[in-house]
Amino acid sequence: MRPLLDAMGSTGLAVCGQGAQVYDAGADRLLWSITLDRELAETALGKIEAEVGEVYAAVDQDGVDGLTLIEPGYLMPHPTLPAFRVGRRDDLWCEPISKVLLRHPTLSDDELAATARAVVGSLATVTMSGPGTVELQPCGITKATGLALAAEHLGLGAHETIAFGDMPNDIPMFDWAARGVAMANAHPELKAVADAITLSNEDDGIAVVLEQLLADSLLGVPAEGALNP
């Protein structure tokens, strides 16, 4: 997480690991973190492979300096992100982890995520955060978990928040926040539950809404009026 935040010059709070971590970039300090039990992760992975055949896995290690480890056959969905290839799957479990990332050679992300949810049960929470990114994380942990903790740290309530997203893993966050705004290029599942839809990320959809909210607040316009650019 640190290299990305440093590159952006961020000094605020960051909710990472699908809500499993809250990081203070300005203080370079992990405020909250929960790990995924490695034995449960291995069991969940075995159940998934028993259903769909071989999958390729990677893990994000816990901590500010945690590494992303990828097993043979796993291709990073974002090749520019730093990752370290290990020689065998057992090497993935050498240190505490925050999540497992999965890819299947033939199934779509939606198909893999649906199958994983059906067989994993209470062993882990299954999310899909982007193309080629189906993930296992600690059971019951979602982006809403981390967002609520970050808001509490800042002295804010849910009624004072707005959330932006583009994938199904953002649905719990939309449920928690006062308003949920989906990007124009968002997954259909997220659009279906959004309070509003803004422009795409390439068209600065988040900035458009924030600019409207700030401008309208000076005029006393209710926030809802700024959520449909």
Give the C-alpha separation, 112 to 64, whole Å: 29
* pLDDT for residue 79 is more than 90: no
Asked if 149 contacts 164 with a C-beta cutoff of 8 angstroms, the reply is no
**Residue 189: what pLDDT?**
93
Residues 158 and 195: their CA atoms lie apart, in Å, by 15
- Tell me what pLDDT residue 122 has: 92
pLDDT confidence of residue 136: 96
Residue range 12-28: mean pLDDT, rounded: 90
pLDDT reading at 94 higher than 90: yes
Does residue 226 register a pLDDT over 50? no
Amino acid 229: pLDDT = 45
Residue 5 confidence (pLDDT)? 74
- pLDDT value of residue 47: 97
Give the span between the Cα atoms of 210 and 23, in whole angstroms: 23
Q: What is the DSSP letter of 170?
A: G
pLDDT digits 0-9 by tens, 189-212: 999 999 999 999 899 999 999 998
For 122-175, write each residue's pLDDT tens digit.
999 999 888 888 999 999 999 999 999 999 999 999 999 999 999 999 999 999
Coil, helix or strand for 125? strand
Could you give the CA distance from residue 149 to residue 143 in angstroms, rounded to a whole number?
10
Are 195 and 180 within 8 A, CB to CB?
A: yes
Q: What is the mean pLDDT of the chain?
A: 90
Q: Which residue, among 177, 217, 180, 218, has the nearest Cα to 196 in the 3D structure? A: 180
Q: 12, 8, 2, 15: which is closest to 129 by C-alpha?
A: 15
- 1: pLDDT strictly greater than 70: no
Domains, in order of start, for the chain: 38-137 (3.30.1240.10), 157-226 (3.40.50.1000)
pLDDT score of 50 more than 80: yes
Check residues 65 and 109 and name the one with the higher pLDDT: 109
